[in-house]
Amino acid sequence: MRRVFVFVLAFLLIASFSFAAGEREKTTGGKLITVTDLLGRQVRVKIPVERIVLQSSGSGGAFYTLFALGGRNVVRRIVGIDPGLKMYRHWIWEKFTKAVPELKSIPDIGYVYKGNFNVEKVITLKPDVIIVPPFAYQRGKDAFAKLKKAGIPVVVIDYHSETLKTHLATIKLLGLLLGKEKRAEELANFYKEQVEKVYTRLEHLKGPKPKVYIECGMKGPSEYSNTYGNYMWGALIEKCGGINIAKGKIEKWGPINPEYLLSKNPDVIIITGSYWPKTSHSMRLGYYANAAESRKLLAAFTKREGWNTLKAVKEGRIYSIHHGLSRDIWDFVPIQFMAKCFYPDVFKDLDPVASFKEFHRRFLPVEYSGVWMLSLIPQER
């Protein structure tokens, strides 16, 4: 009788343990593993993650990659998001919310750069992970330390370094977190193929490089806005085979001295655009842009004092590209576009618009539309 009692007790204990383990796996999303994020930090996280919080979604975050990997239904896993896309990428947010209306009901967790990141709210959302880019992590390090202490894993991704290595590692990491490794491999291969269309040719180029000036077109032609040193757009200039005239004069970003710009006499000028509704004369590009209107806005920049003397203006080498395309999963588009602007003969066969359309068709839940890049003088692709 005693043996029967011990056997029954053992069976009940095992059954109880199995039930508890099953419930734990069901509620936490799977097995606990250690991942290495893009800062080299070891982070324990249960995968596949089912509850995700995003910080800095509009600039180098995981937003587009999550949809590229998980499709439109990935929205069900996003339980908190910062307002970056709503604030700075109006047309992108509008396009995505039309295709995925559920985005509108995701709780706003505040923005590190605005100083209103809400740690307490994030904790109440009980996420499996919060995903952040490196600049946001550094900016809100104390807040993220509190989340870590509360048992919420913080994973840093990195599109900001704008290297093939960090892009591929970021895609692979996000694929692992979502349980979408095969899809991540497909996305990584696509990205690599697109950038290597430029990088492999640049290795063999000889001769003088074009001098390039790039400026954020947010403030319009009446006021000089940010240009970039060895960072973001400035770094991309050099990766695409150009000479960034702001390097050494601007540390990260800031307006250039107009007299210095005139003295450097750039061969190529690029004004970035988006939709900044507070400034009606800002450069406008994106899902709902019109080519004729955008070209008219771009032409206004060439009317600045002294610009009629610039080589780039005289030769019509004035271009515009969407500001939100750098330091993210889709920065292969500006890489192709800029290389073509710098070396039109070498990259004559390259079609960055077609590449971007293919990316939309294969990976995004929204259709390509509008104008994302153009030259002041219309050109045949």
> pLDDT tens-digit profile of 313-350?
999 999 999 999 999 999 999 999 999 999 999 999 99
Residue 380: pLDDT band by 50, 70, 90 thresholds? low
Q: Please, which residues have CB within 8 angstroms of residue 195's CB and are 6 or more apart in sequence? A: 164, 332, 335
- What homologous superfamily does CATH list for 204-375? Nitrogenase molybdenum iron protein domain (3.40.50.1980)
For a pLDDT cut of 90, what percent of the chain falls above it?
85
What distance in Å separates the CA atoms of residue 316 and residue 310, rounded to the nearest whole number?
Answer: 10
Asked if residue 211 lies in contact with residue 242, where contact means CB atoms within 8 angstroms, the answer is yes
pLDDT tens-place string over residues 127-162: 999 999 999 999 999 999 999 999 999 999 999 999
Interior/surface letters 142-171, b for 16+ CB within 10 angstroms, e for the rest: ebbeebeeeebbbbbbbbbbbebebbbbbb
pLDDT tens-place string over residues 300-309: 999 999 999 9
What distance in Å separates the CA atoms of residue 273 and residue 218, rounded to the nearest whole number?
Answer: 7
Residue type, 186: E
What distance in Å separates the CA atoms of residue 4 and residue 48, rounded to the nearest whole number?
Answer: 41
> Which is nearest to 266 in space by CA: 210, 209, 189, 190?
210
Sheet strand arrangement including 129-132: 78-81, 52-54, 129-132, 154-156
Sequence ranges of the chain with CATH classification 3.40.50.1980: 23-179, 204-375
Q: What is the mean pLDDT of residues 43-49?
A: 97
Beta bridge partners of 45: 33
Ranges of beta strands (E only) in the chain are 31-36, 42-47, 52-54, 78-81, 129-132, 154-156, 211-216, 226-228, 243-244, 253-255, 268-273, 318-322, 373-375
Asked if residue 160 lies in contact with residue 82, where contact means CB atoms within 8 angstroms, the answer is no
Lowest-pLDDT range of 20-34, 243-257, 319-333: 20-34
Lowest-pLDDT range of 14-18, 244-248, 290-294, 311-315: 14-18
Checking phi first, is residue 49 left (phi over 0); if not, alpha (psi -120 to 50) or beta?
beta
Residue 35: pLDDT band by 50, 70, 90 thresholds? very high
Q: What is the mean pLDDT of residues 22-39?
A: 69
The matching CATH number, chosen from 3.30.479.30, 3.40.50.11540, 3.10.20.30, 3.40.50.1980, for 23-179 is 3.40.50.1980
What distance in Å separates the CA atoms of residue 339 and residue 244, rounded to the nearest whole number?
Answer: 13
DSSP state of 309: G
What distance in Å separates the CA atoms of residue 347 and residue 342, rounded to the nearest whole number?
Answer: 9
Strand pairing class (226-228; 253-255): antiparallel
pTM over 0.85: yes
